[in-house]
Amino acid sequence: MRAPSKLHLENFLPYRLSVLSNTVSGAIAAAYFAHFGLSIPEWRVMAVLAANPGLSAAEVTARTAMDKVAVSRAVGTLMDAGRLRRTMAKADRRRTHLELTPAGVRVYAQVVPMALNYERHLIAPLSAKDRATLDRILRILLGRAVELGPVHAE
Protein backbone atom coordinates (compact mmCIF):
# COMPACT_ATOMS: atom_id res chain seq x y z
CA MET A 1 0.00 0.00 0.00
CA ARG A 2 1.29 3.43 -1.01
CA ALA A 3 1.63 6.16 1.62
CA PRO A 4 -0.81 9.02 1.05
CA SER A 5 0.60 12.11 -0.62
CA LYS A 6 0.88 15.16 1.57
CA LEU A 7 -1.54 17.97 0.78
CA HIS A 8 -0.25 21.52 1.26
CA LEU A 9 -3.56 23.30 1.68
CA GLU A 10 -2.16 26.77 1.00
CA ASN A 11 -1.11 25.56 -2.48
CA PHE A 12 -4.24 23.48 -3.21
CA LEU A 13 -6.18 25.29 -5.96
CA PRO A 14 -9.71 24.41 -4.76
CA TYR A 15 -8.86 25.72 -1.30
CA ARG A 16 -7.31 28.91 -2.68
CA LEU A 17 -10.35 29.54 -4.91
CA SER A 18 -12.66 28.96 -1.94
CA VAL A 19 -10.73 31.37 0.28
CA LEU A 20 -10.73 34.01 -2.45
CA SER A 21 -14.44 33.54 -3.12
CA ASN A 22 -15.34 33.66 0.57
CA THR A 23 -13.16 36.74 1.15
CA VAL A 24 -14.60 38.66 -1.80
CA SER A 25 -18.20 37.58 -1.17
CA GLY A 26 -17.88 38.40 2.51
CA ALA A 27 -16.52 41.88 1.83
CA ILE A 28 -19.30 42.76 -0.59
CA ALA A 29 -21.92 41.03 1.54
CA ALA A 30 -21.00 43.13 4.56
CA ALA A 31 -21.99 46.26 2.63
CA TYR A 32 -25.29 45.03 1.24
CA PHE A 33 -26.23 43.39 4.52
CA ALA A 34 -25.56 46.62 6.42
CA HIS A 35 -27.60 48.70 3.95
CA PHE A 36 -30.34 46.26 2.92
CA GLY A 37 -30.26 43.25 5.26
CA LEU A 38 -29.44 40.94 2.35
CA SER A 39 -27.60 37.66 2.80
CA ILE A 40 -25.26 36.27 0.15
CA PRO A 41 -27.84 33.73 -1.11
CA GLU A 42 -30.54 36.41 -1.24
CA TRP A 43 -28.30 38.72 -3.27
CA ARG A 44 -27.36 35.91 -5.66
CA VAL A 45 -31.02 35.04 -6.22
CA MET A 46 -31.81 38.70 -6.88
CA ALA A 47 -28.88 39.09 -9.27
CA VAL A 48 -29.83 35.99 -11.27
CA LEU A 49 -33.47 37.02 -11.47
CA ALA A 50 -32.60 40.59 -12.46
CA ALA A 51 -30.75 39.18 -15.46
CA ASN A 52 -33.21 36.31 -16.08
CA PRO A 53 -36.72 37.18 -14.86
CA GLY A 54 -39.21 34.35 -14.75
CA LEU A 55 -36.90 31.51 -13.77
CA SER A 56 -38.12 28.77 -11.48
CA ALA A 57 -36.42 28.15 -8.13
CA ALA A 58 -34.83 25.02 -9.64
CA GLU A 59 -33.39 27.08 -12.49
CA VAL A 60 -32.03 29.65 -10.02
CA THR A 61 -30.43 26.77 -8.09
CA ALA A 62 -28.76 25.49 -11.25
CA ARG A 63 -27.48 28.92 -12.32
CA THR A 64 -26.07 29.83 -8.92
CA ALA A 65 -24.67 26.38 -8.04
CA MET A 66 -26.19 26.91 -4.59
CA ASP A 67 -27.91 24.27 -2.53
CA LYS A 68 -31.65 24.12 -3.23
CA VAL A 69 -32.43 24.61 0.47
CA ALA A 70 -30.40 27.85 0.49
CA VAL A 71 -32.23 29.05 -2.63
CA SER A 72 -35.60 28.12 -1.12
CA ARG A 73 -34.83 30.03 2.08
CA ALA A 74 -33.57 33.03 0.13
CA VAL A 75 -36.69 33.03 -2.07
CA GLY A 76 -38.92 32.85 1.01
CA THR A 77 -37.11 35.68 2.76
CA LEU A 78 -37.17 37.86 -0.36
CA MET A 79 -40.87 37.20 -0.84
CA ASP A 80 -41.58 38.05 2.82
CA ALA A 81 -39.64 41.29 2.37
CA GLY A 82 -41.66 42.17 -0.75
CA ARG A 83 -38.61 42.00 -3.01
CA LEU A 84 -39.67 38.95 -5.00
CA ARG A 85 -42.91 37.52 -6.33
CA ARG A 86 -43.85 34.04 -7.49
CA THR A 87 -46.43 33.48 -10.23
CA MET A 88 -47.93 30.31 -11.68
CA ALA A 89 -47.03 29.41 -15.24
CA LYS A 90 -50.03 29.67 -17.53
CA ALA A 91 -49.15 26.52 -19.48
CA ASP A 92 -48.27 24.34 -16.46
CA ARG A 93 -49.88 25.18 -13.10
CA ARG A 94 -47.25 23.06 -11.31
CA ARG A 95 -44.49 25.39 -12.47
CA THR A 96 -43.83 28.77 -10.90
CA HIS A 97 -41.86 31.76 -12.09
CA LEU A 98 -39.91 34.16 -9.92
CA GLU A 99 -39.32 37.83 -10.57
CA LEU A 100 -38.20 40.89 -8.68
CA THR A 101 -40.90 43.25 -7.49
CA PRO A 102 -40.46 47.00 -7.98
CA ALA A 103 -39.02 47.10 -4.43
CA GLY A 104 -36.59 44.31 -5.37
CA VAL A 105 -35.57 46.16 -8.52
CA ARG A 106 -34.84 49.30 -6.45
CA VAL A 107 -32.64 47.34 -4.01
CA TYR A 108 -30.88 45.59 -6.89
CA ALA A 109 -30.21 48.95 -8.56
CA GLN A 110 -28.56 50.21 -5.36
CA VAL A 111 -26.43 47.11 -4.73
CA VAL A 112 -25.06 46.79 -8.27
CA PRO A 113 -22.89 49.94 -8.13
CA MET A 114 -21.46 48.80 -4.78
CA ALA A 115 -20.60 45.37 -6.18
CA LEU A 116 -19.13 46.77 -9.40
CA ASN A 117 -17.08 49.32 -7.49
CA TYR A 118 -15.64 46.58 -5.29
CA GLU A 119 -14.83 44.48 -8.36
CA ARG A 120 -13.15 47.48 -10.03
CA HIS A 121 -10.91 48.01 -6.99
CA LEU A 122 -10.22 44.27 -6.67
CA ILE A 123 -8.97 43.86 -10.23
CA ALA A 124 -7.23 47.27 -10.44
CA PRO A 125 -3.72 45.75 -10.05
CA LEU A 126 -4.32 43.50 -13.08
CA SER A 127 -3.48 44.61 -16.60
CA ALA A 128 -6.07 44.25 -19.35
CA LYS A 129 -4.14 41.21 -20.57
CA ASP A 130 -4.14 39.70 -17.06
CA ARG A 131 -7.92 40.25 -16.81
CA ALA A 132 -8.51 38.54 -20.13
CA THR A 133 -6.26 35.65 -19.10
CA LEU A 134 -8.02 35.32 -15.75
CA ASP A 135 -11.42 35.29 -17.45
CA ARG A 136 -10.26 32.63 -19.90
CA ILE A 137 -8.76 30.48 -17.12
CA LEU A 138 -11.91 30.72 -15.00
CA ARG A 139 -14.09 29.67 -17.96
CA ILE A 140 -11.78 26.72 -18.68
CA LEU A 141 -11.66 25.61 -15.03
CA LEU A 142 -15.42 25.87 -14.59
CA GLY A 143 -16.01 23.85 -17.75
CA ARG A 144 -13.51 21.23 -16.64
CA ALA A 145 -15.02 21.02 -13.14
CA VAL A 146 -18.47 20.43 -14.64
CA GLU A 147 -17.00 17.84 -17.00
CA LEU A 148 -15.20 15.99 -14.17
CA GLY A 149 -18.20 16.00 -11.84
CA PRO A 150 -17.94 14.78 -8.25
CA VAL A 151 -14.75 13.24 -6.90
CA HIS A 152 -14.83 9.46 -6.63
CA ALA A 153 -12.56 7.40 -4.39
CA GLU A 154 -10.01 5.44 -6.39
Percent of the chain, pLDDT > 90? 78
pLDDT of residue 139: 96
Least confidently predicted of 82-91, 98-107, 119-128: 82-91
What is the domain partition of the chain in residue ranges? Answer: 24-145
Quick one: three-class SS letters along the chain? CCCCCCCCHHHCHHHHHHHHHHHHHHHHHHHHHHHHCCCHHHHHHHHHHHHCCCCCHHHHHHHHCCCHHHHHHHHHHHHHCCCEEEEECCCCCCCEEEEECHHHHHHHHHHHHHHHHHHHHHHCCCCHHHHHHHHHHHHHHHHHHHHHCCCCCC
User: pTM of the predicted model, to two decimals?
Assistant: 0.84
What are 37-47's pLDDT values in tens digits? 999 999 999 99
Across the chain, what does the average pLDDT equal?
92
pLDDT of residue 89: 73
The CATH code of the domain at 24-145 is: 1.10.10.10
What are 61-78's pLDDT values in tens digits? 999 989 999 999 999 999
